[in-house]
Structure 1
């Protein structure tokens, strides 16, 4: 009997101990969960780099000094005024005559011209500048000088006679080529079998007839003179 009560007490004590353990959170995980772990401390703030050093002050430029301008030399003195010519001697009559510089008169001289024709009744004329001892005298009017109005150059006459042909076309070309070669000047030539008339400004000319062909050759006016070709 006593042993049975002791066994019951042992069993009851064991149950109470187990019940108390469950009530305190022990046992097989049926109690309250454990508290959460504490939060980790925040990471430290990043340290900002130090500010850059301030810029150095700009260099101070040295002051510039411009050299003084060069001193200009003094201007040259003006030239002395021209000396006046001495006055003319007094006139015996008590008055003075004004001195007027001489100005030669100007004249417009007409160029020499030859007015002639072939097989016509009108006489030929040569109007040129009058000459004295081989020198030209310029006058207001052109004078009819003492020259043959049909030919005033014997060299040109001989060239025409030597090169004239029965054909006027052949004649004019042959005469022109020979005249320019021998007289060293430009020569114009007119040839024909019929009547022809002309007025030409020239100072060297010649008209000659051989058979039925008449040729007139002349030097047109230009720089220089044909005096040396006569």
Structure 2
């Protein structure tokens, strides 16, 4: 065990995840608080910023992003003893909290090239995906931030981050083949309390209407990792018809 540094400094990386694990899961209070955490997760309240940050940080760790996270921090905060490692524990936790959503997974480790849908090539280095002509620099107001690879996993506040994350989780060639079927079921259910998918659909409609403000040129092809379409628009049209066959295609104007 280590010192619980996240209690003194709330700005530390993954601080929300660690504090929530200690508050809602740690064995001393597990039986009283864990059910409340489940309720908050399934309610998916758009105004629950703390829960949104918690979910984002869980997903980041499951996808292999542990930058700034002490190797023993999660085990210390949760004090789990039924799992061999953090990934097993967090995968179980994700199933408990978000039972209708596939567990985010990290890409296959190692280094290999894959063909890009829009030309060029992409390379996995460890668990990160990079494109030959990146990084891109996005202007957001007076702030300029440089993003590389699948930046939307670590910067959930960037434009269209939810759409890109959902696409990567459910359609990328490294994703579980069953994930796309799960996405179709969620889209068909169209639950108002499924805040992630409601945001996904809203961002999806914006893209189809031609709003690409803040979206790097190759972001869609990186997230989907597909080569069956000549353009992003062809991919978006196909995906809309797959997910929302009874709804008219959003168009400009």
Query: What TM-score, normalized to structure 1?
Result: 0.21
Q: Between the two structures, name the one with larger relative contact order (CA 8 Å, sep ≥ 6).
A: 2
Q: Computing the radius of gyration over CA atoms, which structure comes out larger, 1 or 2?
A: 1
